Each structure stands twice: as C-alpha cells, then as structure tokens.
Amino acid sequence: MTRRIVFLNLALIALAGILVTTLRAKRKEAKKNETAVLRLRLAPKAVLEPPALRPVAPVTPANYLPVAENMLFSKDRNPTVIIEPPPVKPEPPMPPLPRYHGQMAIGDPIALLSTDKLAQKSYHAGEAIGDFKLISFSREKIAFEWMGKTVERKPEDLAPKEAAVQPAQAAAGAKPAPLSAAAAARAGLPPPAAPRAASAADGFTSPAPSSAPPVTSLGDGNSAGASKTPTGMGSEITDGVRNCLPTDKSPAGTILEGHKKIVLESMFGPICRWEPVK
C-alpha cells in the first residue's frame, strides 16, 4: 500500500516537471516571435498631396444685395421705390342736357335752346349754354361738349314734353288741345300770326274794336323797384316778347313795365303774349 503511494507521488512530480518545461519553451518561442515582429520594417506607402485651395475672391457689395432686399425687419432698405399714383377723382354726374325748341337756317344758322336756369334763347355753334358748349346741330343730330367730351343726341330726344304731346294726339286721331303761347314757345313753334279780317272761310274771328277793353297801365319800366322779369309775365320768347302767366287775369291792352298785353284768337284758342311798347 505504501509502495503504491510512493509511485503515485513520483508520477505526479514527473508530470509537473514536464508541464513546467513545456510552458517555459512556449514562453521563449512567443518572446522570440514578438521580438521578430517588432524588428520588422514595412515599406512606407506613398501619400498624395492635398489639392490646392481656391483663391479667396475679393468682397463685392453687389453680391450682398439679396441680404438687403430680403431683410424682413426693414422695409426702407428695398431698392425698388414704389410710387403710389394719386387717387383718381370720380367724374361728376353730367347735368341735364339743354332743351331743344327748334332751329333756323336763314343766314347764320341758330338753335333755340333753354335750360332749367336759362330762358329760351338763340345760340350759334361754338357758344356756351350753362355747363355745355354747342358744337354743331342739324335736323338729324345736335352735339354738345361737356368736360372735353362730345355728347350727341337727336333733336327729338331733347324736345320738351309739351312738343311730344301734339304728334301723339294727331296720330291717335284726337283733336289737338289748345296750345298756349308759353307751350308754343317751349315746343319751338312760332307764335301764330295776327288774325285777318273776319270771313266765312276763316275758322276764327277777331274781336270787334268796340269790345276792346281800355288800356290799363300797371307800372313804369323805369321805376326803381322794377325787376329784370316784370311781375305777371312769363319767360322771354324772343326780342323782348314774353309769355303770359296762367294766373294773369288782366285784360288785353294792359300796359305793364313797358310791355303791352296782346290776346289773339285762333283756331287753337286764345294766344296771349306781352310785347314791348314801341
């Protein structure tokens, strides 16, 4: 039993010696390889040179214009100056056109016109009537100038309403109503001629001389209180001749402010007007 233990111990000692020797040899071999690797010299690789840098361009102020144009906090740095146009004034409405009463082509042609503020009067081409200027006129059209613009109308479009009533009644076959002197003047119709001597063929008669009322003077045209349009008279027809007002009840032959009242009987009824006393 004791021998077996002794042989076992010897075997273990021998195994331990073999292991120590093997480890020492392996260590020497590893150190040798390490020394060989550290002493090994490798050939250096070729290194390319870096590319040359671009030259720095000089500073140009024009290249920085977008910085000023796109500045969000300063509107006055915008190089484009915006000039706002002045506000356009609205064009005033055109006033009513003058009323057309007729025209005469004897000698220098004239047109009979009137407005709400101006009485009927004859006008030549080129003369001003209110806010308008008469350019030309004919039987087909009449042209005015207003604020540099030409306005053309047909004469019948500018005729007063009283003038359109008579043709409408004639077309309907109705008997025309008596036309007063004022309506005849506004319609551009000439005043009726004085009545002739009574005859059976005439449709009107003049009053007998014995029935004429006495002449009555209602005022003097040279008085201090005389106005431009005498009281009791209407608008001026032509050359001082004026219409009679509907409220005028004075008899024929009455003298008022230098005018004499004339009443004529015609087939359309009585025609009244005031004529200057000559």
The structural domains of the chain, ordered by start, are 99-157 (2.30.30), 178-190+211-276 (no CATH)
Q: Can you say whether residue 133 is alpha, beta or left, with left for phi > 0 and alpha for psi between -120 and 50 degrees?
A: beta
What is the model's pLDDT at position 196? 45
Residue owning tokens 């009545």: 195
- Closest by CA to 111, choosing from 123, 94, 125, is 123
**Phi then psi dihedrals of residue 240, to 5 deg:** 85, -10
pTM of the shown model: 0.33
Please name every residue paired with 243 in a beta bridge, in sequence order, or none if there are none. Answer: 273
What's the length of the chain? 278
What is the model's pLDDT at position 234? 81
What is the model's pLDDT at position 127? 92
What is the model's pLDDT at position 205? 39
What is the model's pLDDT at position 133? 92
**Phi then psi dihedrals of residue 238, to 5 deg:** -170, 140
User: In which element (H, E) is residue 170 found?
Assistant: helix 161-171
Q: Which residues of the chain have pLDDT under 50?
A: 163-177, 179, 181-188, 192-230
What is the model's pLDDT at position 221? 39
Pairing of strands 233-238, 241-244: antiparallel
d(CA 118, CA 91): 24
d(CA 247, CA 40): 146
d(CA 80, CA 28): 88
What is the model's pLDDT at position 13? 93
